[in-house]
Chain A
Amino acid sequence: MEELRFLDLETHSAAINMAIDEAIMRSLRDGAAVPTFRIYRWQPSAVSIGVFQSMREEVNLDYCKTFGIDVVRRITGGGAVYHDYDGEITYSVILPQGHRLAPADILESYKLLCKGIILALRHLGIKAEFRPVNDIVTGGKKISGNAQTRRFSCLLQHGTTLLGLDVRKMFSVLRVPQEKISDKMIDDVKQRVTSIRDVLGEMVGMTELRDAIVAGFSEALKVELVPGALSRTEWEMANTLAREKYSSDEWNFKR
């Protein structure tokens, strides 16, 4: 069976998490890494914004500073995501261009890779489906958001799957005028977004979600996830990228 290097659930800062993705892509391009699947959490909790979004327009920077929430610009498009340490798991899959799991057609590749999360949710007992372009929904509500870029002769897709959802917290972190945070608005969001615990109850834990994601991606992609680690070169590159790019105002406040 085809193999992917598997970097099991780790916890990092926002800058390191985004830097690891880029370091793997660069290494893969240079022939110094293999196709990789990784899952991770964010500590401190963090907001990531899409590559074309405005940091100041999307993120409540005062709130984030006060409560020690990281902010980072992704290299992928899409919207702002709040990555709560206790509330989600993020995955990344990094594949070379032309790989069986990286079709040239963007929609097709989202659909293929998102199947991993759909099967993960099925393992947990949640029936979910792909909603083009980049969402996974259950009962019409979004439970996972995904984003892709094609750079460094690679495809990167990363995405979040919500274990829990604290709408008030999400609104505090994202820039929504405070007076608009009404009960009605919170109800509206709950009509559009959900989480595993909203569907199944509070008992579902991080480990169960981790196990489900591993099983879901193995099945959906028909691959063997082989436990591995970043090479020393990848770590050095990730640390440099985290320091010089993903922690810099030049990058994070680019728009």
Chain B
Amino acid sequence: MALTAEEVRHIATLARVAVSPEEVERLRVQLSGILDQFQMLNDIDTSDVPPTTQSFDLHSVQRADEVRPSLPRAEALLNAPRTEDGYIRVRAVLD
């Protein structure tokens, strides 16, 4: 299944990954090749088969809702690229 350059750019936008024109072309060829490998799944009859999301059958695991100390602010900010007055500094998302 051959993807178009337009489709690759659309996927990159959805994934929030900036790609150069060279990367678009390389990804177009490589992803198309990988998608071709997926075609064999169409030959497998799964009409009455339920999906499996996880191999071990654990459901709705819960824990007691207890108050516990949270991460100290200094540790939470330790790896942040830009901080100000104990907050993470972000770019404006609204004008």
Question: Do the two chains belong together in a single complex?
Answer: no
